[in-house]
């Protein structure tokens, strides 16, 4: 799993690639960041195969931290290529829709 963390004082963002879930993921926390046990306000990519390309996550992440590195998309693709998606394990169910 790759994970990159960013913060700008008003939001914290974690974005990366999770090979066991075969998905890119994004977590966004808003607020002052004092509560370490706080759940993310946004959590995308928590289910198997949910987000197969990073582009929509970068759009959401940039709404909270506009000055994310221009090279972030490239790095996420490199992370995905370095750790290919793993096959889905038997017994896993899809999230309710």
Q: What is the pLDDT of residues 1-29, one digit of tens each?
A: 999 999 999 999 999 999 999 999 999 99
Question: Cα–Cα–Cα angle for 75, 66, 35, nearest 5°?
Answer: 90
At 79-90, the pLDDT tens digits run 999 999 999 877
Which is more confident, 33 or 28?
28
Measured between alpha carbons, how far is 23 from 45 in angstroms, rounded to an integer? 6
Question: Cα–Cα–Cα angle for 89, 92, 55, nearest 5°?
Answer: 85
Over range 31-37, report the average pLDDT: 65
At 50-79, the pLDDT tens digits run 999 999 999 999 999 999 999 999 999 999
Confidence band of 38 (pLDDT split at 50, 70, 90): confident
């Amino acid at each position: 799993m790759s994970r990159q963390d960013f913060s700008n004082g008003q939001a914290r963002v974690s974005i990366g690639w999770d090979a066991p879930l075969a998905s890119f993921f994004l977590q966004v926390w808003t607020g002052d960041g004092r509560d370490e046990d706080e759940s993310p306000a946004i959590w995308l990519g928590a289910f198997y195969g949910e987000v197969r390309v990073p582009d929509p996550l970068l759009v959401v992440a940039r709404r909270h931290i506009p000055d994310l590195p221009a090279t972030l998309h490239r790095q996420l693709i490199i992370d995905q290529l370095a750790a290919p998606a793993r096959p889905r394990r038997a017994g896993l169910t899809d999230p309710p829709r």
